[in-house]
Structure 1
Amino acid sequence: MKRPFFCFLLIVLLITLFIPGGCREPEKKPIDEYRYQEPEITLYDNNTGEKKRIKMEEYIAGVVAAEMEPSWPVEALAAQSILARTFTLHKIKYEKGVPHRGADASTSTEEFQAYDPKRITQRVREAVKMTRGEVIKHKGKYIRAWFHSNAGGKTATAEEGLAFKKEATPYIQSVTDPGQKVADPDDKEWKASFSLDEVRSAVIQQAGKDPGQITSASIVKKGPSGRAVTIRLGNAEISGSALRMGLGPERMRSTLLLSLIHI
């Protein structure tokens, strides 16, 4: 007997999160840590289990190269450099980096950011150099520098898109994104299939509830941008963002869902 599959028809690639809207201009003067000497951080390599000391700007180059296509326009890479640097300093200052690894940062996208020094090109280095020390702050504090690849025509607030409620993030606004007009066709609309066992395990892991035998699936609530805020699977409800993390953001690319199909 064939195993049933649980299919999602989703729209638009949302690789990481959401780009800040309504923020003030990035600071043009060097941040405090850069005034006298470029800081070093401790980086944990999740592939080898080893830790190493690395200069901040060299680390940022590896992040930008991993998070974006190194061949993209230098201004796009420069914008990513500012976000990556801000994200890093926010995590280190307010969350002590990755304390369970005994490091400031790691190479895991779930724990920190992507990092791949093998993809660094001269264009990436140029982008990092031209934004050296630049960060984004809101009321004197580093912002949570979430970003995305494609917002499906409209960005979302942190609460809607990430179920983030730890603190207010007024600088993250839902705005129209014209990038959808020039997005790659493969990123505008796509499908992903998951076995019922995968879905059940994801719900148990992320929500702490057993949905039982999943015979139905539905979107219970959508947010202002149209993203699935709450999804019902069998006997359990789970936030769209939690389900995405449980199934893997590389496969479930977004919570901006057109439909859920049970086969």
Structure 2
Amino acid sequence: MRKYGLFVPVLILLLATVWLSWGCQPAKKPEGDRKYKSEPTISLYDNQTGQKKQIKLEEYVAGVVAAEMEPSWPVNALAAQAILARTFTMENMATGRVKKLHGTDVSTSVEESQAYDPSRITERVRQAVQKTRGEVITYQGKYIKAWFSASNGGKTAGAAEGLAYYKTPTPYIKANLDDPDSLQNTLPEIQRWTATIPGDQVRQAVKSIAGQDPGPLTSAAIAQRGPSGRTVKLKINNTTVGGPAFRLAAGSTEIRSMFLTEVAVQGGNLILAGKGYGHGVGMSQWGAKNKAEKGVSPEDIIRFYFQDIEIEKLYP
């Protein structure tokens, strides 16, 4: 009669313990719920020193805005950049890209994360960040790819055309959109530019993309244009390469954009002429500056370049 006497109370105690442990655990955040009770602290890897530190998200965003945009520009332009920087940060953290590299949320490398320079932070930058505190851009409940470039040359590009990006759909990008603000009141070298690329540099760039040597540079032509007029395919001798890939391989500071107006070969060099600066996808910084000077709000600047989006506040 007593052989179950000790077992049954123990069994009841175990079941009760399991039940209580289930019932007392804090509720998990529903998937897609991005709201925070307060501003989060994130971890930052300094690529120059190798040090890691904890930093408040808004302080990090200020350092990004100061590095990515001229700090003396209008507050509303800087604020639009802050919304993009904050969104980029959260999307980057969600993917865990930097975590895999350094064990931190973000880094100071523009290739891995975003440009970051706290020494350039001004009172105007701080006002812009505070003005949009916690604001991020989402599309159907997910953070968007918060792309921007210096100037789209007067017309925006889609992700496929400007960046050769096909990995995920980006229907929130307004492509082929007229944007005269991106060229008005900008630097002369953005409105119209020319570049002379040495033949050997062109040859090496093509080889790195196509995997084959095109030979000494003798001819060049636009093989295909995208909807906005950008060069999506460029023919060098008898080899055709992607426009965005060629710009990166041959020099993205020299070849300011693939919004080309002229392609020629002279004296063994590649001669290019074009307009704008950057890939042209998403927000144009010069466009944002000119819109801000007209009194357009940061949120409406964002809505000009992105469609069907929500601008959410993550924390108070």
1:234 CA drift (Å): 2.6
Residue 192 (str. 1) matches residue 181 (str. 2): no
Change (3 A) 1:48 1:32: same
Distance across 2 between alignment mates of 1:211 and 1:93: 41
How many residues matched? 233
Could you tell me whether the CA contact under 8 Å between 2:44 and 2:108 is conserved in 1? Answer: yes
Counterpart position of 2:229: 226
Could you tell me whether the CA contact under 8 Å between 1:244 and 1:255 is conserved in 2? Answer: yes
Distance across 2 between alignment mates of 1:87 and 1:224: 26
Residue 156 (str. 1) matches residue 157 (str. 2): yes
Between Structure 1 and Structure 2, which shows a larger proportion of helix residues? 2
Counterpart position of 1:63: 64
Could you tell me whether the CA contact under 8 Å between 1:214 and 1:235 is conserved in 2? Answer: no
For residues 88-167 of structure 1, what are the structure 2 equivalents within 5 Å? Answer: 88-97=89-98, 99-167=100-168
Could you state the TM-score of these two structures normalised by the residue count of structure 1?
0.82
Counterpart position of 2:217: 214
Distance across 1 between alignment mates of 2:196 and 2:45: 33
Residue 82 (str. 1) matches residue 89 (str. 2): no
Counterpart position of 1:201: 204
1:32 CA drift (Å): 5.9
Distance across 2 between alignment mates of 1:176 and 1:214: 35
Distance across 2 between alignment mates of 1:210 and 1:139: 45
Could you tell me whether the CA contact under 8 Å between 2:220 and 2:237 is conserved in 1? Answer: yes
Q: Which amino acid aligns with 1:177?
A: D
After superposition, give the CA deviation of every residue in 1:131-188 in whole Å (9 maximum; x if it has no partner).
1110000000000010122111100100111110001100112211021233232310
Distance across 2 between alignment mates of 1:249 and 1:112: 18
Counterpart position of 1:238: 241
After superposition, give the CA deviation of every residue in 1:47-88 in whole Å (9 maximum; x if it has no partner).
334333322111111110111110000000000000111111
Unaligned runs of 5+ in 1: 1-30
Unaligned runs of 5+ in 2: 1-31, 267-316
Q: Which has the higher contact order (CA 8 A, sep 6+)?
A: 1
Counterpart position of 1:72: 73
Counterpart position of 1:28: none
Could you tell me whether the CA contact under 8 Å between 1:210 and 1:235 is conserved in 2? Answer: no
Could you tell me whether the CA contact under 8 Å between 2:99 and 2:105 is conserved in 1? Answer: yes
Change (3 A) 1:43 1:261: farther
Distance across 2 between alignment mates of 1:34 and 1:61: 21
Q: Which amino acid aligns with 1:76?
A: A
